[in-house]
Structure 1
Amino acid sequence: MNTVCTPLAAVPPIAPAERVLTDGFDASAATVAAAVDSHGLACLRDVVPHDWLTAARDFVTHSVELNGAQELLVEDFAARPGTFAHQLVSDERVEPFMRQVATACRAGVGFGDGAIESELRLVNGPPRSAKPLWFHYDSTAITLVIPILIPTSTPGRSGELVLYPNRRPFRRRVVTNILEKCLSQNDFYRRWFVRYPGRRSDVRTEALEPGNAYVFSGYRSYHATLPSPPGSLRATLILHFGDVHDNSRLLNSIRGVERTIRRSIRTRRSSPTVAVQSSKCAWLAD
Protein backbone atom coordinates (compact mmCIF):
# COMPACT_ATOMS: atom_id res chain seq x y z
CA MET A 1 0.00 0.00 0.00
CA ASN A 2 1.12 3.55 -0.65
CA THR A 3 1.27 6.22 2.00
CA VAL A 4 -1.36 8.83 1.28
CA CYS A 5 -2.02 12.10 3.07
CA THR A 6 -5.02 14.13 2.03
CA PRO A 7 -7.37 16.60 3.70
CA LEU A 8 -10.91 15.48 4.40
CA ALA A 9 -13.68 17.79 3.30
CA ALA A 10 -15.95 19.24 5.96
CA VAL A 11 -18.99 17.11 6.57
CA PRO A 12 -22.19 18.13 8.34
CA PRO A 13 -22.33 16.52 11.79
CA ILE A 14 -24.64 13.60 12.35
CA ALA A 15 -27.09 13.92 15.20
CA PRO A 16 -25.85 11.96 18.25
CA ALA A 17 -27.63 8.78 19.19
CA GLU A 18 -27.29 6.52 22.20
CA ARG A 19 -27.75 3.42 20.06
CA VAL A 20 -26.79 2.85 16.46
CA LEU A 21 -26.64 -0.91 15.89
CA THR A 22 -29.74 -3.06 16.08
CA ASP A 23 -31.15 -4.28 19.37
CA GLY A 24 -29.74 -7.57 20.55
CA PHE A 25 -26.54 -7.52 18.49
CA ASP A 26 -24.47 -7.73 21.69
CA ALA A 27 -26.44 -10.50 23.38
CA SER A 28 -24.21 -13.31 22.14
CA ALA A 29 -20.64 -12.22 22.84
CA ALA A 30 -19.73 -15.71 24.07
CA THR A 31 -21.19 -17.27 20.91
CA VAL A 32 -19.28 -14.81 18.73
CA ALA A 33 -16.02 -15.58 20.55
CA ALA A 34 -16.64 -19.32 20.14
CA ALA A 35 -17.23 -18.88 16.39
CA VAL A 36 -14.04 -16.83 16.06
CA ASP A 37 -12.08 -19.50 17.91
CA SER A 38 -13.60 -22.42 15.98
CA HIS A 39 -14.07 -21.01 12.48
CA GLY A 40 -11.89 -17.90 12.47
CA LEU A 41 -14.74 -15.50 11.67
CA ALA A 42 -18.16 -14.55 13.04
CA CYS A 43 -20.75 -12.72 10.94
CA LEU A 44 -23.29 -10.51 12.72
CA ARG A 45 -26.08 -10.36 10.18
CA ASP A 46 -28.27 -7.29 9.58
CA VAL A 47 -27.00 -5.37 12.61
CA VAL A 48 -26.21 -2.10 10.77
CA PRO A 49 -29.28 0.09 10.06
CA HIS A 50 -29.97 1.48 6.59
CA ASP A 51 -29.92 5.13 7.76
CA TRP A 52 -26.41 4.73 9.18
CA LEU A 53 -25.18 3.08 6.00
CA THR A 54 -26.67 5.88 3.91
CA ALA A 55 -24.85 8.53 5.96
CA ALA A 56 -21.59 6.58 5.74
CA ARG A 57 -21.90 6.14 1.96
CA ASP A 58 -22.68 9.82 1.46
CA PHE A 59 -19.52 10.70 3.34
CA VAL A 60 -17.13 8.39 1.50
CA THR A 61 -18.51 9.30 -1.93
CA HIS A 62 -18.79 13.08 -1.45
CA SER A 63 -16.43 14.14 1.35
CA VAL A 64 -13.22 12.18 0.79
CA GLU A 65 -10.72 13.29 -1.84
CA LEU A 66 -8.76 10.34 -3.18
CA ASN A 67 -6.78 12.50 -5.62
CA GLY A 68 -6.04 9.49 -7.79
CA ALA A 69 -4.78 7.33 -4.92
CA GLN A 70 -5.46 3.61 -5.13
CA GLU A 71 -5.87 3.29 -1.39
CA LEU A 72 -6.59 5.56 1.54
CA LEU A 73 -6.46 4.71 5.25
CA VAL A 74 -7.76 7.30 7.72
CA GLU A 75 -6.49 6.46 11.18
CA ASP A 76 -8.47 7.25 14.35
CA PHE A 77 -11.39 8.26 12.16
CA ALA A 78 -13.98 7.61 14.86
CA ALA A 79 -12.29 10.22 17.05
CA ARG A 80 -13.80 12.90 14.80
CA PRO A 81 -17.00 14.05 16.58
CA GLY A 82 -20.08 14.25 14.41
CA THR A 83 -19.04 11.56 11.94
CA PHE A 84 -20.89 8.32 11.32
CA ALA A 85 -17.95 6.39 12.82
CA HIS A 86 -17.95 8.43 16.03
CA GLN A 87 -21.69 7.88 16.28
CA LEU A 88 -21.21 4.12 16.06
CA VAL A 89 -18.38 3.73 18.58
CA SER A 90 -20.34 5.99 20.95
CA ASP A 91 -23.10 3.38 21.03
CA GLU A 92 -23.11 2.39 24.70
CA ARG A 93 -23.07 -1.33 23.85
CA VAL A 94 -20.16 -1.45 21.39
CA GLU A 95 -17.21 -1.19 23.79
CA PRO A 96 -18.61 -3.71 26.33
CA PHE A 97 -19.36 -6.12 23.48
CA MET A 98 -15.84 -5.89 22.06
CA ARG A 99 -14.38 -6.19 25.55
CA GLN A 100 -16.38 -9.38 26.24
CA VAL A 101 -15.40 -10.97 22.92
CA ALA A 102 -11.74 -10.02 23.34
CA THR A 103 -11.65 -11.37 26.89
CA ALA A 104 -13.28 -14.63 25.80
CA CYS A 105 -10.75 -14.98 22.99
CA ARG A 106 -7.75 -14.05 25.09
CA ALA A 107 -7.90 -14.16 28.89
CA GLY A 108 -5.85 -11.37 30.43
CA VAL A 109 -5.81 -9.17 27.33
CA GLY A 110 -5.05 -5.52 28.08
CA PHE A 111 -7.45 -2.67 27.38
CA GLY A 112 -5.34 0.42 28.11
CA ASP A 113 -7.67 3.39 28.35
CA GLY A 114 -10.52 1.33 26.88
CA ALA A 115 -10.52 3.25 23.60
CA ILE A 116 -11.49 1.49 20.39
CA GLU A 117 -8.96 1.97 17.59
CA SER A 118 -10.60 2.82 14.29
CA GLU A 119 -9.71 3.13 10.61
CA LEU A 120 -11.68 4.20 7.58
CA ARG A 121 -10.27 2.30 4.59
CA LEU A 122 -11.04 3.11 0.97
CA VAL A 123 -9.80 1.14 -2.04
CA ASN A 124 -10.16 2.69 -5.47
CA GLY A 125 -10.16 -0.10 -8.03
CA PRO A 126 -7.52 -2.83 -8.43
CA PRO A 127 -3.88 -2.51 -7.27
CA ARG A 128 -1.66 -0.65 -9.70
CA SER A 129 1.54 -2.49 -8.92
CA ALA A 130 2.93 -6.00 -9.01
CA LYS A 131 3.06 -6.21 -5.22
CA PRO A 132 1.40 -9.24 -3.58
CA LEU A 133 -1.70 -9.05 -1.44
CA TRP A 134 -1.04 -7.15 1.79
CA PHE A 135 -1.27 -10.09 4.19
CA HIS A 136 -0.58 -9.07 7.77
CA TYR A 137 -1.40 -9.58 11.43
CA ASP A 138 -3.01 -6.95 13.65
CA SER A 139 -1.74 -6.00 17.09
CA THR A 140 -5.13 -6.35 18.78
CA ALA A 141 -7.03 -9.41 19.99
CA ILE A 142 -10.10 -8.80 17.83
CA THR A 143 -10.95 -6.90 14.67
CA LEU A 144 -14.46 -5.84 13.66
CA VAL A 145 -15.11 -4.90 10.02
CA ILE A 146 -18.21 -2.96 8.96
CA PRO A 147 -18.64 -2.85 5.16
CA ILE A 148 -19.89 0.47 3.75
CA LEU A 149 -19.41 0.07 -0.01
CA ILE A 150 -18.47 -3.31 -1.48
CA PRO A 151 -18.05 -3.77 -5.27
CA THR A 152 -19.73 -6.63 -7.08
CA SER A 153 -17.79 -8.60 -9.66
CA THR A 154 -16.54 -12.14 -10.20
CA PRO A 155 -15.39 -14.20 -7.20
CA GLY A 156 -11.90 -13.17 -6.16
CA ARG A 157 -12.37 -9.71 -7.71
CA SER A 158 -15.01 -8.25 -5.40
CA GLY A 159 -12.90 -6.99 -2.52
CA GLU A 160 -13.49 -10.10 -0.40
CA LEU A 161 -11.84 -10.56 2.97
CA VAL A 162 -9.37 -13.45 2.77
CA LEU A 163 -7.78 -14.93 5.85
CA TYR A 164 -5.91 -17.93 7.13
CA PRO A 165 -7.83 -18.17 10.40
CA ASN A 166 -6.13 -18.54 13.76
CA ARG A 167 -2.86 -19.45 12.09
CA ARG A 168 -0.80 -18.55 15.14
CA PRO A 169 -1.49 -18.47 18.90
CA PHE A 170 -1.39 -15.40 21.09
CA ARG A 171 2.32 -15.03 21.73
CA ARG A 172 3.49 -14.76 25.32
CA ARG A 173 6.68 -12.92 24.39
CA VAL A 174 6.58 -9.68 22.46
CA VAL A 175 9.96 -10.45 20.85
CA THR A 176 8.45 -13.59 19.30
CA ASN A 177 5.62 -11.50 17.92
CA ILE A 178 8.00 -8.95 16.41
CA LEU A 179 10.24 -11.58 14.82
CA GLU A 180 7.23 -13.39 13.42
CA LYS A 181 5.89 -10.20 11.85
CA CYS A 182 9.32 -9.38 10.40
CA LEU A 183 9.20 -12.73 8.63
CA SER A 184 5.58 -12.83 7.53
CA GLN A 185 5.02 -9.19 6.55
CA ASN A 186 7.45 -8.84 3.69
CA ASP A 187 6.67 -9.26 0.00
CA PHE A 188 8.92 -12.27 -0.56
CA TYR A 189 7.22 -14.28 2.17
CA ARG A 190 3.74 -13.20 1.08
CA ARG A 191 4.35 -14.42 -2.47
CA TRP A 192 5.75 -17.72 -1.25
CA PHE A 193 2.94 -18.24 1.24
CA VAL A 194 0.03 -17.83 -1.17
CA ARG A 195 1.68 -20.03 -3.82
CA TYR A 196 2.33 -22.96 -1.50
CA PRO A 197 -0.29 -25.64 -2.39
CA GLY A 198 -0.64 -26.86 1.18
CA ARG A 199 -2.06 -23.50 2.25
CA ARG A 200 -5.09 -23.58 -0.03
CA SER A 201 -7.18 -25.84 2.18
CA ASP A 202 -6.72 -23.47 5.12
CA VAL A 203 -7.87 -20.26 3.47
CA ARG A 204 -11.25 -18.67 4.15
CA THR A 205 -12.70 -16.15 1.73
CA GLU A 206 -15.64 -14.05 2.88
CA ALA A 207 -17.74 -11.90 0.56
CA LEU A 208 -18.62 -8.87 2.69
CA GLU A 209 -22.19 -7.54 2.68
CA PRO A 210 -23.15 -4.04 3.85
CA GLY A 211 -25.55 -4.31 6.77
CA ASN A 212 -23.48 -7.06 8.38
CA ALA A 213 -20.51 -6.81 10.73
CA TYR A 214 -17.62 -9.28 10.78
CA VAL A 215 -15.49 -10.24 13.78
CA PHE A 216 -12.20 -12.15 13.73
CA SER A 217 -8.92 -12.27 15.60
CA GLY A 218 -6.66 -9.96 13.63
CA TYR A 219 -3.75 -10.92 15.87
CA ARG A 220 -4.04 -14.63 15.15
CA SER A 221 -5.31 -14.60 11.55
CA TYR A 222 -3.11 -13.79 8.57
CA HIS A 223 -5.44 -11.66 6.47
CA ALA A 224 -5.76 -9.37 3.47
CA THR A 225 -8.27 -7.99 0.95
CA LEU A 226 -8.76 -9.41 -2.53
CA PRO A 227 -8.69 -7.00 -5.51
CA SER A 228 -11.62 -4.83 -6.55
CA PRO A 229 -12.76 -4.32 -10.17
CA PRO A 230 -11.69 -1.23 -12.17
CA GLY A 231 -13.72 1.89 -11.54
CA SER A 232 -15.07 0.65 -8.22
CA LEU A 233 -14.88 2.03 -4.68
CA ARG A 234 -14.57 -0.23 -1.65
CA ALA A 235 -15.07 1.33 1.80
CA THR A 236 -14.96 -0.27 5.23
CA LEU A 237 -14.86 0.91 8.82
CA ILE A 238 -12.42 -1.20 10.85
CA LEU A 239 -12.42 -1.34 14.65
CA HIS A 240 -9.63 -2.86 16.75
CA PHE A 241 -9.76 -3.74 20.44
CA GLY A 242 -7.72 -5.59 23.06
CA ASP A 243 -3.97 -5.03 23.29
CA VAL A 244 -2.18 -8.38 23.51
CA HIS A 245 1.15 -6.85 24.58
CA ASP A 246 -0.04 -3.76 26.42
CA ASN A 247 2.68 -3.92 29.10
CA SER A 248 5.59 -4.18 26.68
CA ARG A 249 8.08 -1.32 27.00
CA LEU A 250 9.58 -2.31 23.67
CA LEU A 251 6.31 -1.99 21.75
CA ASN A 252 5.37 1.18 23.62
CA SER A 253 8.69 2.69 22.52
CA ILE A 254 8.09 1.64 18.91
CA ARG A 255 4.60 3.13 19.00
CA GLY A 256 6.02 6.37 20.38
CA VAL A 257 8.36 6.58 17.40
CA GLU A 258 5.47 5.81 15.05
CA ARG A 259 3.37 8.62 16.52
CA THR A 260 6.26 11.02 16.05
CA ILE A 261 6.62 9.96 12.40
CA ARG A 262 2.91 10.40 11.77
CA ARG A 263 2.86 13.85 13.38
CA SER A 264 5.82 14.80 11.20
CA ILE A 265 3.97 13.65 8.08
CA ARG A 266 0.89 15.65 9.06
CA THR A 267 3.02 18.74 9.70
CA ARG A 268 4.78 18.49 6.34
CA ARG A 269 1.48 18.14 4.52
CA SER A 270 0.05 21.14 6.46
CA SER A 271 -3.26 19.41 7.15
CA PRO A 272 -4.77 18.72 10.57
CA THR A 273 -6.85 15.86 9.22
CA VAL A 274 -4.89 13.43 7.10
CA ALA A 275 -4.91 9.80 6.17
CA VAL A 276 -1.72 7.87 6.78
CA GLN A 277 -1.52 4.18 6.09
CA SER A 278 0.27 2.32 8.84
CA SER A 279 1.92 -0.63 7.10
CA LYS A 280 5.23 1.12 6.28
CA CYS A 281 6.02 2.95 9.51
CA ALA A 282 4.01 0.85 11.94
CA TRP A 283 4.06 -2.66 10.56
CA LEU A 284 5.72 -4.21 13.62
CA ALA A 285 3.62 -2.64 16.36
CA ASP A 286 0.29 -2.57 14.52
Structure 2
Amino acid sequence: MDVFPSVAADAAATIATDMDRHGYGVVENCIPSDLLSGLRQFIEDRVQKNGGEYIAFSAAELAGTLLQELSRSANFQQVCRQLYESGTRKPAPPVSFYNILRCLAGQTGEQNAYFFHYDSYVLTILVPILIPTEGQPGDLIMFPNTRPLRKTYFGNLIDKFFLDNRLMQTHLRKGVLSGGLKPEKIRMTPGNVYFFWGYRSVHANESCDPDKIRATALYHYVDPHSDSWLRNTLLSLRGRKPQMSQPVAVAQPA
Protein backbone atom coordinates (compact mmCIF):
# COMPACT_ATOMS: atom_id res chain seq x y z
CA MET A 1 0.00 0.00 0.00
CA ASP A 2 1.35 3.42 -1.00
CA VAL A 3 1.70 5.83 1.96
CA PHE A 4 0.85 8.83 -0.25
CA PRO A 5 -2.37 9.18 -2.25
CA SER A 6 -2.49 9.42 -5.99
CA VAL A 7 -2.73 13.06 -7.15
CA ALA A 8 -4.57 13.62 -10.42
CA ALA A 9 -2.91 15.75 -13.10
CA ASP A 10 -5.45 18.56 -12.72
CA ALA A 11 -4.96 18.60 -8.94
CA ALA A 12 -1.17 18.77 -9.41
CA ALA A 13 -1.70 21.68 -11.83
CA THR A 14 -3.73 23.47 -9.14
CA ILE A 15 -0.91 22.96 -6.62
CA ALA A 16 1.60 24.40 -9.08
CA THR A 17 -0.67 27.42 -9.69
CA ASP A 18 -1.00 27.97 -5.93
CA MET A 19 2.79 27.84 -5.60
CA ASP A 20 3.16 30.49 -8.30
CA ARG A 21 0.40 32.75 -6.98
CA HIS A 22 0.54 32.31 -3.21
CA GLY A 23 3.96 30.77 -2.60
CA TYR A 24 2.88 27.28 -1.65
CA GLY A 25 0.48 24.46 -2.43
CA VAL A 26 -0.83 21.73 -0.18
CA VAL A 27 -2.24 18.22 -0.29
CA GLU A 28 -4.54 18.07 2.71
CA ASN A 29 -5.19 15.11 5.04
CA CYS A 30 -3.00 12.81 2.97
CA ILE A 31 -1.03 11.13 5.79
CA PRO A 32 -3.19 9.45 8.47
CA SER A 33 -2.44 10.18 12.12
CA ASP A 34 -1.81 6.53 12.90
CA LEU A 35 1.09 6.52 10.42
CA LEU A 36 2.57 9.59 12.12
CA SER A 37 2.24 8.26 15.68
CA GLY A 38 5.32 6.03 15.65
CA LEU A 39 7.43 8.81 14.16
CA ARG A 40 6.21 11.24 16.82
CA GLN A 41 7.25 8.87 19.57
CA PHE A 42 10.67 8.42 17.95
CA ILE A 43 11.13 12.20 17.83
CA GLU A 44 10.01 12.80 21.40
CA ASP A 45 12.35 10.08 22.70
CA ARG A 46 15.34 11.40 20.77
CA VAL A 47 14.75 15.03 21.77
CA GLN A 48 14.49 13.98 25.41
CA LYS A 49 17.75 12.05 25.15
CA ASN A 50 19.30 15.17 23.62
CA GLY A 51 18.45 17.21 26.69
CA GLY A 52 15.34 18.73 25.17
CA GLU A 53 17.36 20.60 22.55
CA TYR A 54 17.45 20.89 18.76
CA ILE A 55 18.31 17.76 16.82
CA ALA A 56 18.29 16.83 13.13
CA PHE A 57 18.38 13.50 11.32
CA SER A 58 19.72 12.63 7.89
CA ALA A 59 18.06 10.22 5.48
CA ALA A 60 20.36 7.38 6.60
CA GLU A 61 19.14 7.79 10.18
CA LEU A 62 15.51 7.60 9.03
CA ALA A 63 15.77 4.15 7.47
CA GLY A 64 12.74 2.03 8.25
CA THR A 65 10.53 4.98 9.16
CA LEU A 66 7.51 6.52 7.47
CA LEU A 67 9.77 9.17 6.00
CA GLN A 68 11.80 6.60 4.09
CA GLU A 69 8.58 5.00 2.87
CA LEU A 70 7.36 8.39 1.66
CA SER A 71 10.55 8.99 -0.34
CA ARG A 72 9.99 5.63 -2.05
CA SER A 73 6.30 6.26 -2.72
CA ALA A 74 5.49 6.10 -6.43
CA ASN A 75 2.61 8.56 -5.95
CA PHE A 76 4.82 11.03 -4.05
CA GLN A 77 7.54 10.79 -6.69
CA GLN A 78 4.98 11.33 -9.43
CA VAL A 79 3.54 14.55 -8.01
CA CYS A 80 7.06 15.91 -7.47
CA ARG A 81 7.88 15.20 -11.12
CA GLN A 82 4.66 16.88 -12.25
CA LEU A 83 5.34 19.99 -10.17
CA TYR A 84 8.95 20.25 -11.30
CA GLU A 85 7.96 19.98 -14.95
CA SER A 86 5.17 22.51 -14.49
CA GLY A 87 7.50 24.99 -12.81
CA THR A 88 10.51 24.62 -15.10
CA ARG A 89 8.99 23.47 -18.40
CA LYS A 90 11.73 20.83 -18.45
CA PRO A 91 11.61 17.03 -18.12
CA ALA A 92 12.17 15.87 -14.55
CA PRO A 93 15.68 14.41 -14.28
CA PRO A 94 16.36 10.96 -12.76
CA VAL A 95 17.55 12.13 -9.35
CA SER A 96 16.88 11.28 -5.73
CA PHE A 97 15.53 13.33 -2.85
CA TYR A 98 17.74 15.07 -0.32
CA ASN A 99 15.87 14.40 2.91
CA ILE A 100 16.30 15.70 6.46
CA LEU A 101 14.19 15.77 9.64
CA ARG A 102 14.54 18.91 11.80
CA CYS A 103 13.32 19.00 15.40
CA LEU A 104 13.23 22.46 16.97
CA ALA A 105 13.26 22.42 20.77
CA GLY A 106 14.92 24.18 23.66
CA GLN A 107 17.14 27.24 23.44
CA THR A 108 19.09 25.83 20.49
CA GLY A 109 15.83 25.61 18.56
CA GLU A 110 15.54 29.39 18.89
CA GLN A 111 18.91 29.76 17.16
CA ASN A 112 17.35 28.19 14.06
CA ALA A 113 14.52 30.75 13.89
CA TYR A 114 14.44 33.67 11.45
CA PHE A 115 17.31 32.40 9.34
CA PHE A 116 16.18 33.59 5.92
CA HIS A 117 17.55 31.63 3.00
CA TYR A 118 17.09 30.20 -0.46
CA ASP A 119 17.23 26.43 -0.83
CA SER A 120 19.71 24.87 -3.23
CA TYR A 121 16.99 22.70 -4.75
CA VAL A 122 14.17 23.68 -7.09
CA LEU A 123 11.30 22.05 -5.21
CA THR A 124 10.93 21.83 -1.44
CA ILE A 125 8.39 19.56 0.21
CA LEU A 126 7.60 20.04 3.89
CA VAL A 127 5.94 17.34 5.98
CA PRO A 128 4.92 18.51 9.48
CA ILE A 129 5.16 15.79 12.11
CA LEU A 130 4.81 17.68 15.40
CA ILE A 131 3.47 21.25 15.46
CA PRO A 132 2.61 22.97 18.78
CA THR A 133 -1.05 23.94 19.08
CA GLU A 134 -0.47 26.64 21.72
CA GLY A 135 2.01 29.49 22.11
CA GLN A 136 4.57 30.04 19.37
CA PRO A 137 4.41 27.11 16.91
CA GLY A 138 7.29 28.15 14.63
CA ASP A 139 5.22 29.00 11.57
CA LEU A 140 6.84 28.87 8.14
CA ILE A 141 7.26 32.39 6.75
CA MET A 142 8.07 33.16 3.14
CA PHE A 143 8.66 35.87 0.58
CA PRO A 144 7.65 33.71 -2.37
CA ASN A 145 9.23 33.52 -5.79
CA THR A 146 11.61 36.47 -5.40
CA ARG A 147 14.12 35.20 -7.96
CA PRO A 148 14.18 33.01 -11.07
CA LEU A 149 16.15 29.82 -11.49
CA ARG A 150 19.66 31.07 -12.15
CA LYS A 151 21.41 29.77 -15.23
CA THR A 152 24.73 29.49 -13.42
CA TYR A 153 25.95 28.62 -9.95
CA PHE A 154 27.77 31.95 -9.87
CA GLY A 155 24.45 33.76 -10.25
CA ASN A 156 23.11 31.71 -7.36
CA LEU A 157 26.15 32.68 -5.26
CA ILE A 158 25.51 36.37 -5.87
CA ASP A 159 21.93 36.01 -4.61
CA LYS A 160 23.10 34.20 -1.49
CA PHE A 161 25.83 36.78 -0.88
CA PHE A 162 23.22 39.53 -0.65
CA LEU A 163 20.92 37.43 1.55
CA ASP A 164 23.23 35.40 3.82
CA ASN A 165 24.87 38.26 5.68
CA ARG A 166 24.32 39.84 9.08
CA LEU A 167 23.00 43.16 7.76
CA MET A 168 20.31 41.64 5.57
CA GLN A 169 19.37 38.99 8.12
CA THR A 170 18.94 41.66 10.81
CA HIS A 171 16.89 43.82 8.44
CA LEU A 172 14.55 40.96 7.56
CA ARG A 173 14.15 39.76 11.15
CA LYS A 174 13.43 43.23 12.53
CA GLY A 175 11.13 44.01 9.64
CA VAL A 176 9.06 40.87 10.18
CA LEU A 177 8.92 41.26 13.98
CA SER A 178 7.88 44.92 13.72
CA GLY A 179 5.25 44.24 11.09
CA GLY A 180 7.00 46.43 8.53
CA LEU A 181 7.59 43.38 6.34
CA LYS A 182 4.70 41.02 5.80
CA PRO A 183 5.75 37.60 4.54
CA GLU A 184 3.35 34.84 3.66
CA LYS A 185 2.75 32.89 6.88
CA ILE A 186 1.88 29.19 6.78
CA ARG A 187 0.43 27.52 9.86
CA MET A 188 1.15 23.88 9.14
CA THR A 189 -1.06 20.97 10.11
CA PRO A 190 0.28 17.41 10.57
CA GLY A 191 -1.28 15.13 7.99
CA ASN A 192 -0.92 17.76 5.27
CA VAL A 193 2.04 17.98 2.89
CA TYR A 194 3.25 21.38 1.66
CA PHE A 195 5.06 22.22 -1.58
CA PHE A 196 6.92 25.41 -2.54
CA TRP A 197 9.68 26.66 -4.84
CA GLY A 198 12.45 26.55 -2.24
CA TYR A 199 15.14 27.70 -4.65
CA ARG A 200 13.18 30.78 -5.66
CA SER A 201 11.64 31.78 -2.32
CA VAL A 202 13.21 33.50 0.70
CA HIS A 203 11.94 31.58 3.70
CA ALA A 204 12.50 30.85 7.37
CA ASN A 205 10.60 29.68 10.41
CA GLU A 206 9.39 31.79 13.30
CA SER A 207 10.31 31.02 16.89
CA CYS A 208 8.95 27.95 18.62
CA ASP A 209 8.41 27.88 22.41
CA PRO A 210 11.49 26.19 23.92
CA ASP A 211 9.43 23.76 25.99
CA LYS A 212 7.70 22.40 22.89
CA ILE A 213 8.82 20.43 19.82
CA ARG A 214 8.36 21.50 16.22
CA ALA A 215 9.36 18.62 13.96
CA THR A 216 9.22 18.81 10.19
CA ALA A 217 10.61 16.57 7.47
CA LEU A 218 12.04 18.25 4.39
CA TYR A 219 12.41 16.70 0.96
CA HIS A 220 14.46 18.63 -1.58
CA TYR A 221 14.14 17.81 -5.26
CA VAL A 222 16.57 18.71 -8.08
CA ASP A 223 19.69 20.78 -7.50
CA PRO A 224 20.02 22.75 -10.77
CA HIS A 225 23.74 23.34 -10.16
CA SER A 226 24.77 19.86 -9.09
CA ASP A 227 27.14 19.56 -12.07
CA SER A 228 28.70 23.00 -11.59
CA TRP A 229 32.48 22.92 -11.57
CA LEU A 230 32.55 26.06 -9.41
CA ARG A 231 30.17 24.62 -6.84
CA ASN A 232 32.04 21.35 -6.47
CA THR A 233 35.42 23.10 -6.39
CA LEU A 234 34.30 25.42 -3.59
CA LEU A 235 32.96 22.50 -1.60
CA SER A 236 36.26 20.65 -2.02
CA LEU A 237 38.22 23.71 -0.87
CA ARG A 238 36.10 23.80 2.26
CA GLY A 239 36.81 20.13 2.86
CA ARG A 240 33.19 19.18 2.23
CA LYS A 241 31.72 16.63 -0.08
CA PRO A 242 28.80 17.63 -2.30
CA GLN A 243 25.46 16.90 -0.62
CA MET A 244 24.35 13.45 -1.61
CA SER A 245 20.73 12.62 -2.12
CA GLN A 246 19.42 9.58 -0.35
CA PRO A 247 19.84 6.46 -2.50
CA VAL A 248 16.24 6.19 -3.64
CA ALA A 249 16.02 6.79 -7.37
CA VAL A 250 13.05 8.80 -8.55
CA ALA A 251 11.69 6.62 -11.32
CA GLN A 252 11.01 8.20 -14.67
CA PRO A 253 7.65 7.69 -16.38
CA ALA A 254 7.60 4.91 -18.92
**CA displacement at 1:243 relative to structure 2:** 1.8
RMSD: 2.9
Counterpart pick for 1:232 among 185, 204, 212:
212
What does residue 95 of structure 2 align with? 114
Matched, 1:87 2:66: no
Matched, 1:150 2:125: no
2-side partners of 1:41 and 1:259: how far apart?
Answer: 35
1:81-117 Cα distance to aligned partner (Å, 9 max, x none)? 3122111111111122112111211233773x52111
1-side partners of 2:59 and 2:159: how far apart?
Answer: 26
What does residue 31 of structure 1 align with? 14
1:192-244 Cα distance to aligned partner (Å, 9 max, x none)? 13434899465101111101111111111111111111310111111010222
State the TM-score, normalizing by the size of structure 2: 0.83
2-side partners of 1:85 and 1:130: how far apart?
Answer: 25
Alignment of 1:188-207 (within 5 A): 188-196=167-175, 200=180, 202-207=182-187
**CA displacement at 1:174 relative to structure 2:** 1.6
SS at match of 2:231: helix
Give percent identity, aligned residues only. 28
2-side partners of 1:258 and 1:99: how far apart?
Answer: 32
Q: Which structure features the higher share of helix residues?
A: 2
Alignment of 1:173-184 (within 5 A): 173-184=152-163
Alignment of 1:126-275 (within 5 A): 133-154=114-135, 157-196=136-175, 200=180, 202-256=182-236, 260=240
**CA displacement at 1:63 relative to structure 2:** 4.2
1-side partners of 2:209 and 2:48: how far apart?
Answer: 20
2-side partners of 1:212 and 1:104: how far apart?
Answer: 21
1:102-146 Cα distance to aligned partner (Å, 9 max, x none)? 1211233773x5211100100004557788711111011110100
Tell me if the contact between 2:116 and 2:203 (Cα under 8 Å) persists in the aligned partners: yes
1:225-270 Cα distance to aligned partner (Å, 9 max, x none)? 111113101111110102222331112334456674699xxxxxxx
Name the amino acid aligned to 2:189.
E
SS at match of 1:48: coil
**CA displacement at 1:41 relative to structure 2:** 0.7
What does residue 22 of structure 1 align with? 5
Q: Compare 82-91 and 121-130 and name the one that shifted more.
A: 121-130
Matched, 1:71 2:54: yes
Name the amino acid aligned to 2:230.
L
Tell me if the contact between 2:19 and 2:196 (Cα under 8 Å) persists in the aligned partners: yes
User: Segments of 4+ in structure 1 off by > 6 A?
Assistant: 128-132
Matched, 1:41 2:37: no
2-side partners of 1:241 and 1:30: how far apart?
Answer: 18
Counterpart pick for 1:101 among 70, 83, 93:
83
Relative distance call for 1:23 and 1:98 in structure 2 (3 A) is closer
1-side partners of 2:227 and 2:91: how far apart?
Answer: 10
Q: How many residues align?
A: 242
Tell me if the contact between 2:104 and 2:215 (Cα under 8 Å) persists in the aligned partners: yes
Tell me if the contact between 2:115 and 2:204 (Cα under 8 Å) persists in the aligned partners: yes
Tell me if the contact between 2:27 and 2:193 (Cα under 8 Å) persists in the aligned partners: yes
2-side partners of 1:259 and 1:35: how far apart?
Answer: 40
User: Structure 1, unaligned stretches of length 5 or more?
Assistant: 1-17, 264-286
2-side partners of 1:33 and 1:95: how far apart?
Answer: 15
Name the amino acid aligned to 1:149.
L
User: Structure 2, unaligned stretches of length 5 or more?
Assistant: 244-254
**CA displacement at 1:72 relative to structure 2:** 2.0
1-side partners of 2:175 and 2:78: how far apart?
Answer: 40
2-side partners of 1:230 and 1:54: how far apart?
Answer: 22
